[in-house]
Amino acid sequence: MENRVAAVSMQGISKSFGTIQANYNVDLNIYRGEILSLLGENGSGKTTLMNMLAGIYYPDEGQIFIDGKPAAIHSPKEAFSYGIGMIHQHFKLVDVFTAAENIVLGTIAKGKLDMAKATAKIRTICETYGFDVDPEQKIYNMSVSQKQTVEIVKVLYRGADILILDEPTAVLTPQETDKLFAVLRNMRNDGKAVVIITHKLHEVEAISDRVAILRKGQFIGELITKNTDAQEMTNMMVGHEVKLNIDRPEPVDPRPKIEVDGLTVRSSDGILKLDDVSFTANAGEILGIAGISGSGQKELLEAIAGLQGVESGTIRYVNDDGSREELVGKDPLEIAAMGVSLSFVPEDRLGMGLVGSMDLTDNMMLRSFRRGKSLFTDRKTPRELAEKVVDELEVSTPSVNTPVRRLSGGNVQKVLVGREIASAPTVLLSAYVVRGLDINSSYMIYDLINRQKKNGVAVIYVGEDLDVLLELCDRILVLCGGKVSGVLDGKTAEKRQVGLLMTQLGGGEPVEQ
């Protein structure tokens, strides 16, 4: 291994953004014919490091060598000239163009554009590696996984032989992930260098030959995948021993709390987002919601919270004495005025749950500022709450006067979750609560959610990591295209089964309700 010439060698790379040192003195080699996993928690500098190869950022210090020769990469175009192509988390495709048009877009060729020839070349690439994509299909008709395929083909079409994929599986179902991995293996066998950025350990184990680990911007070490295990990688990634299982206490006295019946929701442009959705969420239980992103999870939670107009159907809140109250047609204030204590941790933390430029105290006030008859706000109580949340949830912040935008993702989430559970809710709605969080923070959040469950709160947990959903939730409701495609028991459900329900209605699997 030592006598191979690295396709890419990064030496002593440092990059900082203001106070944040994104990378510090990183040495990394990438070889052809190999799949390298770049593993690290969120904010560990994986994407920044790779963006410097892709020409998006330029290193502050250090040198990049391509095939042993020093290289300076100022732009994505120059990256392509070195054969480096990166597939970003957010796709950059023109919706109204076909796959082929998107792939050809931006390539500079002399003379007239020969679409037929280009399409033929695209087909050859697809056949070589086993891509399942139709060059003539328009992007807006494609699924997320197909769009990703187009991005990969686009990079290959430009002659890249060093491919970097930034968290490619975040948007895929387990089945689609398997397909992607098969394609990546074909590319490796063809002698290409493949880098996959990820923080999911089981993926590292499934796909890569070698794994390089970053922590807080620094290179920690590299391992040969087959000689290591999840525990060793986690310890290197986090820096200390972490226990990797989630509790699932038995629900105590589960009673219906929220009854949704025949809920149908359309977006403002008339697209059907939820179609005749019915289910019951019980107090003292965690109801997981699984589904490909955009299957109606957001609309479902917002409808319950009173933020989304409803076309038809009912959402009933069950009081302790068994009486029922309708939530449809009420706004958040009216719902609160009815005495329903409903907390909501939305997906978009800084765009909806919090105000980024305000400090912790002011953010705590968002829920409570109306209290009292005074014209003026009371900052004392929220300040105490902020201090309590910082203390109990170990939020790392200079003070409670720091704008929340300056905190890291995990700390932002702790502030939001801390505020939402401070009001002693009876219903807790949460959307992707651990997205972007490091392992420690994630486990702390699971623990907080479990405590709410033990207190008899009806928890609705929208998640994307199926492993976590299966470990944490008592029941899992699967959404597919706005319809309920199944409700499974969390203790007995299998990942494969959930994956199938996410992509096809019914799926031939027994549906229990």
| Nearer to another protein among residue 68 and residue 510 (C-beta) | 68
Task: Give the C-alpha distances (Å, rounded to integers) separating 459 from 164, 181, 354.
Answer: 38, 34, 21
Q: SS3 for 368?
A: helix
Q: How far apart are CA 122 and CA 141, in angstroms?
A: 19
Site membership for another protein, residue 58 (CB under 8 A): yes
Distance of CA 100 to the CA centre of its chain: 28
Angle between helices 439-454 and 230-238 (to 10 degrees): 100
CB of 38 to another protein, least distance (A): 22
Site membership for another protein, residue 269 (CB under 8 A): no
Distance of CA 92 to the CA centre of its chain: 18
Site membership for another protein, residue 511 (CB under 8 A): no
| Nearer to another protein among residue 15 and residue 192 (C-beta) | 15
Transcribe 405-460 into DSSP letters.
Answer: GGS-HHHHHHHHHHHHHHT--SEEEEESTTTT--HHHHHHHHHHHHHHHHTT-EEE
Q: Is 4 left (phi over 0), alpha (psi -120 to 50) or beta?
A: beta
Q: Interacting stretch for another protein, rule CB under 8 A, among 9-17, 46-54, 196-204, 446-454? A: 9-17
| Nearer to another protein among residue 14 and residue 319 (C-beta) | 14
Could you say which of 125, 220, 272, 307 contacts another protein (CB under 8 A)?
A: 307
Q: How far apart are CA 480 and CA 1, in angstroms?
A: 46
| Nearer to another protein among residue 272 and residue 358 (C-beta) | 358
The amino acid at 76: P
CB of 181 to another protein, least distance (A): 34
Site membership for another protein, residue 56 (CB under 8 A): no
| Nearer to another protein among residue 141 and residue 399 (C-beta) | 399
Q: Binding marks (x or -) toward another protein, 346..365, rule CB under 8 A?
A: x-x-xxxxxxxxx---x--x
| Nearer to another protein among residue 431 and residue 498 (C-beta) | 431
Could you say which of 367, 388, 454, 483 contacts another protein (CB under 8 A)?
A: 367
CB of 236 to another protein, least distance (A): 25
Site membership for another protein, residue 375 (CB under 8 A): yes
Residues paired with 428 in a beta bridge: 343, 459
CB of 60 to another protein, least distance (A): 7
CB of 332 to another protein, least distance (A): 4
| Beta strand 458-462 pairing with 427-431 | parallel
Residues 67 to 96 in contact with another protein, rule: CB under 8 A: 68, 70-72, 74
Cβ pair 421, 371 in contact under 8 A: no
Instruction: Tally the C-alpha atoms within 13 A of residue 365's C-alpha that lie toward its C-beta.
Output: 18
| Nearer to another protein among residue 196 and residue 400 (C-beta) | 400
CB of 427 to another protein, least distance (A): 15
Q: Which two tokens stand for residue 55?
A: 């020409």
Q: Binding marks (x or -) toward another protein, 313..332, rule CB under 8 A?
A: ------------------xx
Nearest to 285 by CA among 317, 246, 325, 249: 249
CB of 350 to another protein, least distance (A): 8
The amino acid at 231: Q
Q: How far apart are CA 157 and CA 330, in angstroms?
A: 53
Q: How far apart are CA 119 and CA 264, in angstroms?
A: 42
Could you say which of 370, 380, 492, 510 contacts another protein (CB under 8 A)?
A: 370
Residues within the interface to another protein (CB under 8 A): 11-12, 16-19, 58, 60-63, 65, 68, 70-72, 74, 305, 307, 331-333, 336, 344, 346, 348, 350-358, 362, 365-367, 369-370, 374-377
